[in-house]
Amino acid sequence: MAEKALFRDYLARLTAIAAQGDAREESFYASLADLVAAWAGATKVEGAHVTTLPKATEAGNPDFRVWDGQQHIIGYIEAKAPTMENLEPIAESEQLRRYRSTFPNLILTNFFEFRLYRHGALVATARLARPFVATKLGAKPPLEQPDELQTLLQQFFAFSLPRAYTAEELAVALAVRTRFLRDQVVAQELAEEEKASRGHLLGFYEAFRTHLIAGLTLDGFADLYAQTLTYGLFAARVRAGTEFNRRTAFASIPHTIGILRDLFQFVSLGDLPPQLEWVVDDLAEVLAVADVKGILHQFFHEGKGADPIVHFYETFLSQYDPAERERRGVYYTPEPVVSYIVRSLHRILQQEFAKPDGLASPGVTLLDPAAGTMTFVAKAAQVAVDEFVAKYGEGSRARFIKDHILKNFYVFELMMAPYAVGHLKMGFFLEELGYTLGPDERFKLYLTNTLEMEELAESQLPGFASLADESHQAGEVKRDVPILVILGNPPYSVSSSNRSEFIEREMEVYKEAVRDERNLMPLSDDYVKFLRFAEWKIAQAGQGVVGMITNHGYLDNPTFRGMRQHLMDTFDEIYVLDLHGNSLKKERCPDGSPDQNVFDIRQGVAIVFFVRYSDEQRS
């Protein structure tokens, strides 16, 4: 059997290397790489390439990537020194647990013993020989389990990623890789570039810290960068043809979304650090084999309101970093809640603002200041299009979307991941509504801090003028565009880190009447700041309506009495639907049963509509 001859030659090479007396783990790498490549050739496995990545630390990827040299990744191999004769403790180490949870086809070896893991579970073992015979006795060890190793390698090379991913399964598959990318690859690369005071990732970090998120840490940027890579790849995959990989992704990012284009020019066309390249390639392959378009189309044609893009983001974030999900206050708003708020705003415009077509009326401007996954604005666009088509027919549907939805509907978002997926969602959603975005068009979704009024200076860093341009466009909406309708589900976070000079100044009007309170922290909750922004923006326009679902704490807490008074002074009518569901207060239904929240949170919530009439309406 030719394979047994390969195994014997391999053991002879290992023995010779060990006999040199100064061999390290890396000294054996070439022998193992040659064995795997030779075995693949002998068994007619086409296009098998083995790439070796010696590294100074154990924080990065496994030591070997086995792939076809173009796109398809077969699996990974992590090697330990032959002196580590017992692999069981290694298999349970923190490093290997990370690898096993990230890479679905992984071999752990000390060059003599081999352990194959599939999706983290041990599925095969083979001991080719006893390592101490070569390393301690200096003799070539006899073959022990060549047939078992033959079977193990066959299983390893037979691996392929599943093609029938559900939205949830795809989110989980990407989440584990993105977490590894954040913690083990980007963080390490940033640390090395910081020591050298230069590097591509460090340049990106400085641009984001200087021009978008003040106080952004290296760890925070590693998180931002990893999530953005994944969602950017996801967005590119939807637009790509049958062939998809890291290098084709750039061509699939619309050039009107400058920030993503800047980032992916480096990822797709630049000279990536090898460890970063490996993980990005792995992410791209998961997306390449998944029927992403099928998942999305199934929603629009069969989902009956179950939005896979929203659930994808929610599932991804809950798997990727549950603590971040809670800290950001990112929770999926149930479709009935979204529908109720949007339809109510539509009716208020018709009945109270002399807008017979509601959200479809000429000149109606709309803003979601904390869009997340675009649930509210997508529903508003759908209601507006349905209203227009019902009254004026199908003939002008596309023109209406171009002249009204694209012109008058605005969205702000601070987090890069939902920003990326938001552009994906609205492009796809508009196609379902009957309009395909042209090469020079975009939905007016801006990457910005809603509560920050200071615009970014022009960036001097290459490739990042798009950050400043995005800030200027968002700043014009904040300052100059009259907004008639503001809606959404702003984040809830009592320990808000959003403390711009603008919003802190505006919050003073809520605090003036309660200076005697010992604890004013509840007034610093993010949702309170977003309500204050909405109030400020409507007052700036002189009329308008706000429809939001938020924490309901401000309705009866004495600390909020100044806020309640100010809202009553600003608005002519206020409608509140308290949904309760506050487990902290042990709220119960009238029949005594538990009062369940519409979200999976302990804090109760309420829907509110604030209405301010124009001076003409008041008179």
pLDDT digits (tens, 9 = 90+) for 364-375: 999 999 988 788
- pLDDT tens string 146-197: 999 999 999 999 998 877 787 778 888 899 899 999 988 888 888 888 888 8
- Helices 416-433 and 258-269: crossing angle, nearest 10°? 110
Strands (E), 180-314: none
CATH of the domain at 64: 3.90.1570
Q: Which residues pair with 124 in a beta bridge?
A: 116
- Helices 465-480 and 258-269: crossing angle, nearest 10°? 160
Which residues touch 280 (CB under 8 Å, ≥6 apart)?
181, 229, 233, 246, 267, 272
Of residues 169 and 566, more confidence is placed in 566
Q: Which two tokens stand for residue 564?
A: 């309640």
Q: Give the 3-state secondary structure of residue 606.
A: strand
125 lies in some domain: yes
Q: What is the distance between the alpha carbons of residues 541 and 529, in angstroms, rounded to a whole number?
A: 18
Q: What is the distance between the alpha carbons of residues 298 and 288, in angstroms, rounded to a whole number?
A: 18
Q: What's residue 496's pLDDT?
A: 61
124 with 228, same domain? no
376 lies in some domain: no
Q: What's residue 566's pLDDT?
A: 96
Mean pLDDT of 105-113: 96
Q: What Rg value do the Cα atoms of the chain yield, rounded?
A: 29
Q: What's residue 305's pLDDT?
A: 47
Q: What is the distance between the alpha carbons of residues 364 and 406, in angstroms, rounded to a whole number?
A: 12
58 with 146, same domain? yes
Closest among 357, 337, 204, 385 to 607, alpha carbons compared: 337
Which residues touch 353 (CB under 8 Å, ≥6 apart)?
484, 543, 545, 617
172 with 143, same domain? no
pTM above 0.85, yes or no: no
pLDDT above 60 (res 52): yes
DSSP secondary structure string, 256-270?
T-HHHHHHHHHHHHS
| In the block, residue with structure tokens 């479809």 | 360
Of residues 588 and 82, more confidence is placed in 82
Mean pLDDT of 573-588: 82
12 with 113, same domain? yes
Share of the chain above pLDDT 90, in %: 44
430 lies in some domain: no
Out of 168-182, 198-212, 518-532, which region has the weakest mean confidence (pLDDT)?
Answer: 198-212
Out of 215-229, 255-269, 436-450, which region has the weakest mean confidence (pLDDT)?
Answer: 255-269
147 with 228, same domain? no
535 lies in some domain: yes
Look over the chain and give the mean of its residue pLDDT values, rounded to a whole number.
86
173 with 66, same domain? no
Closest among 522, 511, 614, 603 to 565, alpha carbons compared: 511
Residue 329: which pLDDT band, with cuts at 50, 70 and 90?
very low
6 with 145, same domain? yes
Q: Give the 3-state secondary structure of residue 123.
A: strand
Q: What's residue 461's pLDDT?
A: 54
Of residues 104 and 23, more confidence is placed in 104
The last residue of a domain, from among 290, 324, 358: 324
Number of domains composing the chain? 3
171 with 319, same domain? yes
Q: Give the 3-state secondary structure of residue 216.
A: coil
Q: What's residue 588's pLDDT?
A: 74
408 lies in some domain: no
Of residues 555 and 263, more confidence is placed in 555
Q: Which domain holds residue 569?
A: 490-619
319 with 225, same domain? yes
Q: What is the distance between the alpha carbons of residues 119 and 110, in angstroms, rounded to a whole number?
A: 20
368 lies in some domain: no
The last residue of a domain, from among 131, 157, 183: 157
80 with 201, same domain? no
- pLDDT tens string 258-309: 788 888 888 888 778 888 888 899 999 999 988 887 777 665 565 544 566 6
Of residues 516 and 606, more confidence is placed in 606
The last residue of a domain, from among 157, 186, 216: 157
Residue 418: which pLDDT band, with cuts at 50, 70 and 90?
confident
CA pseudo-torsion sign 290, 291, 296, 298: negative
CA distance readout (Å), 501 to 456, 476, 508, 566: 14, 18, 11, 20
The angle subtended at Cα 125 by Cα 122 and Cα 127, nearest 5°, is 155
Mean pLDDT of 395-405: 96
CB atoms closer than 10 angstroms to residue 336: 10
75 with 183, same domain? no
151 lies in some domain: yes
The angle subtended at Cα 442 by Cα 441 and Cα 447, nearest 5°, is 150
51 with 150, same domain? yes
Q: What is the distance between the alpha carbons of residues 600 and 176, in angstroms, rounded to a whole number?
A: 23
Q: What's residue 338's pLDDT?
A: 93
pLDDT above 90 (res 108): yes
597 lies in some domain: yes
